[in-house]
Every structure is written in structure tokens, then in C-alpha cells.
Amino acid sequence: MALSQQDLALFDSRGFLGPFTLFEPEEMKLHWKQLRLQLFNRTHAVYADTPPSSTLYNYDRHLDNPFLAGLVCRTELVSRVASILGPDVLCWRSEFLPKYPGEDGHAWRQAHCFGGLSDGIPHVRWAKSEIYDGGVTVWITFTGADEETGCMQFIPGTHRTIFFDDRKAMRYDPTRTNWTEVNGIRRGYFGYDWRDIQVVPNWEPDESKAISVPCRAGQFIMYCSGVLHSSLPHPGNTSRVQMAMTIRYAPTSVTIYDDMKNTNSISEAGASASLEKYGAVLVSGIDEYKRNAIRTHTTTGIPFINSCPR
């Protein structure tokens, strides 16, 4: 399942790859039919009491749900990620990203330390001095994604330049969650405006270079979190809901949530959640650094699988 040298060169130059197929569409739709009912039960979720209005509500369900626990450890995902990051890999977060008819597209953005939504407090610190050192995100769709439902877009090669400094805080305003027009396209981000943390205030992305990446249900895209990425609006011409999930991977050398030790909590979008039950998952190799809380089992006792042990 490892990436070929050709794929690695393409990832290095563009900052993203895909789509790849993990499940056939009908199989994935069956999984989603069961999963969507299971997710209503938040008894064992690590952020069980978070309000639905917060972005945190959709975080880290792989830490309690059996299907998602297996998904983040799938060899088809992990071996490809390990080709880029090296043999020792953590899954440090997952997030659900629903998009309903009539919703905005997601704003152009980059994520280096993932601190912009949390008052500039870094979620991840890289082992080297650079603020970004190579995290990989896998974006997988349960229902399919195309331009009619607002698929993802990327601007190739932009992972080599820092356009957004997420060591700075963005202002949260829940009234900005929809119907925000940017350069003639409705874009937003859950009450945040990524333009708050642009390195150059009047800079605008060159959307003429954007590449849309449609995916069938069960397909996934891999991208470096530092590449400029966004998604199109869902204009509401179809009643189909787009449901996708991002899985965040990083080398074991990173330090996660170290800047939140004083409160042992994470805050975003007007809500906070305790990190008491949180832990990263070792999905490949070994963890020689021992810098982070690690979960070996879900909150219901199901073991996580190390897909590429050594």
C-alpha cells in the first residue's frame, strides 16, 4: 500500500494526492447508514458534553466508535501516510465535516500548528524549529462529493509558502457561519474568518489555479495541511448531504496539546472540552519519544491496531 516514488514526487510538488478508493460506493453508504445512528450515542465520546454548535462536537469520534477506530488504522491509509511521514506515525485527531444544502463553501486556509481557532494556542508543536514540519490529512467521504455538493479544492504547490499564521487568533463570531461572500463565492468557516490571520492582509489566493477534486463515496484524498485548501459551496440544487471526515496524522516526534496543560482542556467556537480522556493513537511503528498521551484502546475497550509495526 506504500506510495510509489512517482506518487511521492507528485505529493512533494503539489501537496496533495487522490482520490484513492478505500470502499466501493454502495459498501460505504451501508457503513454510513449504520454509523450515522451510532454517532447519536455520545455516552462514551471523549467530549461527550460539548454542545452541537461547537466544532468540538464532531472531533475524535474514532476514540469511541468501533468502525471509526478501525478506519483511522486502515493499512490502505496508514501505509501511504507513513511513506510521507516516516515509519512512526500518530493519528492525533479526526473531525466530521457535514455540508448541507445551501451551506457556504469552506474558506481558503492552511494549518501549521492548528492554533488559529483556539486563540492562537498551538495544538501541535513540531520537533524542529519550523512552525510546520509535515502533518498529513486524509479526507474521506461517506456520501460522495462533487461540485454540486461542494467538493474540496486545492492550489498546487502552495505548501511551500506560509500564507496564514495560525499562531495568531481568529475572532469567533457565530453570526458569520453562513452567507459570507468572498471574491464572489460564498465561503465561511464555522464562525471564523481565516483572513484575520493572513500574513499579508490584502493578499488573495489565485483561484484560477484551484483544482477541484470530486470523490465517490468511499474515496479519500491525502494532503499536507500546509497546502492551500478549501471547498465549494453547496448551492442546494440537490437535497444530497455531503458527509466527510478528516483524519489528522503526524510523526511521533510532535508534541500535542502541550500548551493546554494548565487547563487540560481545548476551546473552540465558544465552547470548551476536557482533554482528560483524549489520547493520540499509534497507528504505525514505535513511539520512542513518549511526548504525548496515547490511547491503546477506545473508551469502550476496543484495541487500536498498529498497521505497520516494527
- 93-148 pLDDT, tens digit each: 999 999 999 999 999 999 999 998 999 999 999 987 554 566 999 999 999 999 99
Sign of the four-CA dihedral 221, 226, 227, 232: positive
Q: How far apart are CA 18 and CA 246, in angstroms?
A: 14
* CA 90 – CA 82 distance, rounded (Å): 10
Mean pLDDT of the chain: 93
Alpha helices (H) along the chain:
5-14, 25-38, 66-71, 75-85
pLDDT in tens, 48-77: 999 998 899 999 999 999 999 999 999 999
Measured torsion, CA atoms of residues 85, 155, 138, 160, in degrees rounded to the nearest 10: 20
pLDDT at 73: 98
228's CB contacts (< 8 A; 6+ apart) are 108, 109, 110, 154, 155, 158, 159, 163, 205
Residue type, 217: A
* pTM confidence score: 0.95
Instruction: Report the distance separating Cα 94 and Cα 90, nearest Å.
Output: 12
- Give me the domains of the chain, ranges plus CATH numbers: 5-284 (2.60.120.620)
**Predicted pLDDT of residue 53:** 85
Q: What is the mean predicted confidence (pLDDT) over 217-237?
A: 95
Rounded-to-integer distance, Cα 244 and Cα 151, Å:
10
